[in-house]
């Protein structure tokens, strides 16, 4: 266990036993030999909006390049101020190169890869993951403000915006092409008029943590609901997950008679009697917990931990009970190490200033 963290939201494994922890308040912290190092390897807080005591902006995601051992590249997702009218902030995905001695980086030495303007404070997404294909996938929320009230169909169904989407970009050929990133040729909307070619899937309100199953290569995501339903989806190339028309398996806008044709249903959903904000996890592919093998482990911010498992054509959900697990903590995210073992990222409070965050490894 690692404790003494300030609003941890994500983690990455360097492959040598070291871990990087992203704190929402702006710091990327190093854990070496199980101990949290005092000096951050990167502090982005100077680039943020002034964060509120309870906020959903800040540093939201981190990912290592698949060839990190040779190129030392990391990618971060954070929010920054903007002077644009009716825009709360800008979402920024940036690339940094970590020095081998892990000394602190200058926050101004990053390379901005991609930006999106965010009308509202919330629903930012923020997850970054490299897929088995080597491309960078990232989730961006619907723009905030409640109900995706952005244009005639909302950002969710508008294919000419990056908001409310999972994107897929190529950061590997960028240097040779002198661009921040390029578009993989097999992205589903390449070459279509008035459609952003970065889009991999759409109609997701606020995908809070997605992951690839190491065994099947399927992309799982949790999508945080607006008010009534939380859901888990398997993300398919070009898939439409229905928001803002649909929340879970139910009409949202319009409230009745919405058109489900062409949309993909979640593999599980639950209402707010069972939780209030879903937290995406991982399909377990480790060796220490054989009873969890092949099950997708996820959580809710209100406390419950769940799994789902496919039996035949159906997905069934159950609860997970962890021993020696502190009460009244808030699950924020999960981590997966190179061997497939899982970690719970949790907060002991709700204020940004709280230094009660911790990382727990799920073991026997």
**Mean pLDDT, the chain, as a whole number?**
95
Q: Quote the pTM value.
A: 0.97
pLDDT at 323: 82
Residue pLDDT, tens place only, 324-357: 877 777 899 999 999 999 999 998 777 888 888 9
Of the ranges 40-44, 225-229, 319-323, the best mean pLDDT one: 40-44
Least confidently predicted of 45-49, 94-98, 176-180, 226-230: 176-180
Residue pLDDT, tens place only, 136-171: 999 999 999 999 999 999 999 999 999 999 999 999
Q: CA angle 294-223-133, nearest 5°?
A: 55
pLDDT at 68: 96
Is the pLDDT score of 50 beyond 80?
Answer: yes
Is the pLDDT score of 232 beyond 90?
Answer: yes
pLDDT at 174: 67
Neighbouring C-beta atoms of residue 334, cutoff 10 Å: 23
Is the pLDDT score of 235 beyond 70?
Answer: yes
In order of 217, 224, 277, 285, the CA distances from 207 in angstroms are 18, 6, 11, 22
> pLDDT > 70: what percent of the chain?
99
- List the 2-5 sheet strands across, edge first: 2-5, 357-361, 342-347, 330-336
User: For 269-294, what is the mean pLDDT?
Assistant: 95
Task: Pick the closest to residue 268 from 221, 215, 312, 205 (CA basis).
Answer: 221
| Dist. CA 110–CA 92, nearest whole Å | 11
DSSP labels, 235-265: E-TT-B--TTTEETTEE-SSSSS---TT---
Residue pLDDT, tens place only, 88-129: 999 999 999 999 999 999 999 999 999 999 999 999 999 999
Q: CA angle 131-306-341, nearest 5°?
A: 50
Long-range contacts of 150-156 (CB under 8 A, 24+ apart): 150/119, 153/244, 153/245, 154/243, 154/244, 154/253, 156/202, 156/203, 156/204, 156/205, 156/242, 156/243, 156/244, 156/245
pLDDT at 307: 97
210 by Cβ neighbours in 10 Å (0-12 / 13-18 / 19+) ranks as buried
Residue 244 tokens read as 């803002």
> pLDDT > 90: what percent of the chain?
88
Return the DSSP state at 182: B
């Amino acid at each position: 266990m690692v404790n003494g963290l300030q609003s941890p939201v994500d983690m990455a494994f360097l492959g040598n036993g070291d871990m990087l922890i992203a704190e929402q308040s702006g710091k990327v912290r190093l854990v070496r030999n199980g101990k949290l190092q005092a000096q951050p390897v990167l502090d982005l807080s100077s680039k943020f909006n002034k964060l509120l005591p309870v906020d959903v902006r800040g540093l939201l995601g981190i990912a290592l390049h698949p060839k990190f051992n040779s190129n030392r590249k990391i990618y971060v997702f954070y929010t920054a101020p903007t002077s644009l009218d009716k825009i709360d902030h800008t979402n920024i995905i940036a690339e940094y190169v970590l020095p081998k001695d892990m000394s602190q980086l200058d926050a101004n030495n990053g390379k901005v890869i991609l930006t999106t303007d965010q009308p509202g404070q919330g629903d930012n997404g923020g997850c970054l993951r490299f897929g088995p294909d080597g491309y960078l996938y990232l989730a961006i929320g619907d723009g905030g403000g409640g109900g995706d009230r952005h244009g005639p169909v909302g950002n969710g169904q508008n294919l000419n915006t990056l908001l409310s989407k999972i994107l897929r970009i190529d950061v590997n050929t960028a240097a040779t092409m002198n661009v921040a990133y390029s578009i993989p040729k097999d992205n589903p909307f390449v070459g279509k008029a008035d459609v952003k070619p970065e889009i991999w899937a759409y109609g997701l309100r606020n995908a809070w943590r997605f992951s690839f199953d190491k065994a099947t290569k399927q992309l799982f995501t949790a999508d945080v609901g607006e008010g009534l339903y939380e859901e888990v989806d398997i993300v398919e190339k070009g898939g439409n997950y229905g928001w803002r028309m649909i929340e879970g398996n139910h009409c949202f806008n319009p409230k009745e008679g919405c058109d489900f044709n062409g949309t993909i249903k979640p593999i599980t959903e639950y209402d707010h009697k069972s939780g209030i904000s879903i937290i995406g996890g991982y399909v377990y592919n480790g060796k220490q917990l054989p009873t969890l093998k092949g099950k997708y482990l996820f959580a809710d911010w209100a406390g419950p931990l769940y799994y789902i498992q496919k039996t035949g054509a159906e997905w069934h959900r159950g609860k997970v009970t962890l021993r020696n697990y502190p009460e009244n903590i808030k699950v924020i995210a999960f981590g997966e190490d190179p061997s497939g073992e899982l970690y719970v990222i949790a907060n002991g409070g709700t204020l940004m200033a709280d230094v009660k965050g911790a990382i727990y490894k799920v073991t026997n």
